[in-house]
Structure 1
């Protein structure tokens, strides 16, 4: 069976594609949440999918709780199997907005083949520019706007980022598939921006402020409208809820004030002290 399945083959002109993955760089639901909000903001049609069966670990040693995230999803009703779902990797498109959306699960195997399928869809329908949105845990306090870090397929793209408050990534460590896509996009003559939103390391929950920060960056490039009022309300509720939780940990509250001071002075840098403080006090996430 073909791994790359087309449902339509529209012809777009200098189109954009926004991609998101669950997994490695979806902390706070920033990657998945950004795609979901874009999908809800415009009318889209199915374009294609990547058959997932040869890309994922389905059986992994461990407890039921540990391996649940790897297993297919099943629905049983009255003793009968109603559905059996593998991970979904789907492409949607909007002819009106000259836009393609991709959302899937970061693959465990065959990254090169997966990237090839994704970029083949881009070339087939006329995409010229790709945006990836992800996140990572860092030292941004929840009371401030998340910082954005960007990696690029081409040096020349940096000039377009001058109006935006983004930093260029300096990083060495484990990679995501988005980094491989940067390399392969450049080789195939496609432009790509990879945007990583820094979210608070002490909060493990859906982070609407991270989603809003990502959208504020990419929406001007896409020329579409989103419901900012609803998203702003979610951000206010998120900050208020975390404030209430933090009050239960007076020492943590004091440490967050230090993060705010450093953030405001823009001299935070690579401060390890807060990470060490969290570990010493046995605080993982709230």
Structure 2
């Protein structure tokens, strides 16, 4: 199961973007929903626009009113493997009830492991593989996860929804992994705040693909990430041209980020086609 959310740790739209991508790519069908009652505010002072339900009016008449927050289960099959995809909206309250409701659904569907993608903004090179941090639910998972080129978190602050999922998965004996990508965030006048980090999505899904043993073509994400990198480089050049007096500072700033960065590469093992495995099992004499 892959479970992503519109949430606090959603830099680069990594958490919400991955399930959206999988649902569309795999033509997954909706199989369930978590009702909103007891999980969301309508308003709080100063932040009311964040919680009120989206509406659309045309010429004074209601065309759309979103009665429910997005908290939906989807299902798709990749070869002989079933994949449950959950796309959710981080709750404002009663997070324990919300997460346990999610886990009830997961267990009813026979889910064996849950991956929760997330993203945090960081000063990392735009053109490099994203660093992936990791938290997990069961101690015996540690040795396996070392093969996925992740860093194990020593986080010591407020919980994210992925950490709440880890906590309650541990109580139930369910395997869960929270993978957090460091997405580019710079002190520059470049439009990065709302960008969807395709490289981060690609790097988490490569690990997911190998972990779940599924044949998932990610070449489209790879190409989109390369396009984003080109657009960033062009934007950087334009920024320097428009601010020649700051070009030296901008160049030095980017170079410092690259020099301080230590890339950790995930080398996905090459899958041997089944036909060759059969030949190895039954060699001709």
- TM-score category (smaller protein): 0.7 to 0.9
Work out the CA distance in 2 between the residues paired with 1:242 and 1:68.
31
Does the aligned pair in 2 maintain the 1:22–1:32 contact within 8 Å? yes
Q: How far 1:20 sits from its partner (Å)?
A: 0.2
Structure 1 residues 265 and 122, CA gap change in structure 2 (3 angstroms): closer
Counterpart residue number, 2:135: 151
Counterpart residue number, 1:238: 228
1:95-116 deviation line (CA, Å, top 9, x unaligned): 5532111001111111011011
Unaligned runs of 5+ in 2: 187-191, 241-246, 265-285
| Residue 165, structure 1, aligned to residue 165, structure 2 | no
Q: How far 1:67 sits from its partner (Å)?
A: 3.6
Does the aligned pair in 1 maintain the 2:14–2:197 contact within 8 Å? yes
| Paired residue secondary structure (1:175) | coil
1:202-258 deviation line (CA, Å, top 9, x unaligned): 232211111111111111122334442221221112111222222315223321211
How many residues of Structure 1 are paired with residues of Structure 2 in the alignment?
247
Which of 62, 66, 69 in structure 1 is aligned with 2:50?
69
How big is the alpha-carbon RMSD for the aligned residues of Structure 1 and Structure 2?
1.9
Does the aligned pair in 2 maintain the 1:246–1:253 contact within 8 Å? no
Counterpart residue number, 2:69: 87
TM-score (normalised: structure 1): 0.80
| Residue 223, structure 1, aligned to residue 210, structure 2 | no
Work out the CA distance in 2 between the residues paired with 1:113 and 1:19.
16
| Residue 109, structure 1, aligned to residue 93, structure 2 | yes
Which of 257, 264, 272 in structure 2 is aligned with 1:259?
257
| Paired residue secondary structure (1:55) | coil
Which of 10, 29, 34 in structure 2 is aligned with 1:45?
29
Does the aligned pair in 1 maintain the 2:138–2:173 contact within 8 Å? no
Does the aligned pair in 1 maintain the 2:128–2:263 contact within 8 Å? no
Structure 1 residues 182 and 208, CA gap change in structure 2 (3 angstroms): same
Work out the CA distance in 1 between the residues paired with 2:147 and 2:211.
12
Unaligned runs of 5+ in 1: 1-16, 267-286
Q: How far 1:165 sits from its partner (Å)?
A: 1.2
Structure 1 residues 230 and 72, CA gap change in structure 2 (3 angstroms): same
Structure 1 residues 241 and 189, CA gap change in structure 2 (3 angstroms): same
Work out the CA distance in 2 between the residues paired with 1:25 and 1:97.
29
Work out the CA distance in 1 between the residues paired with 2:21 and 2:87.
12
Q: How far 1:145 sits from its partner (Å)?
A: 1.1
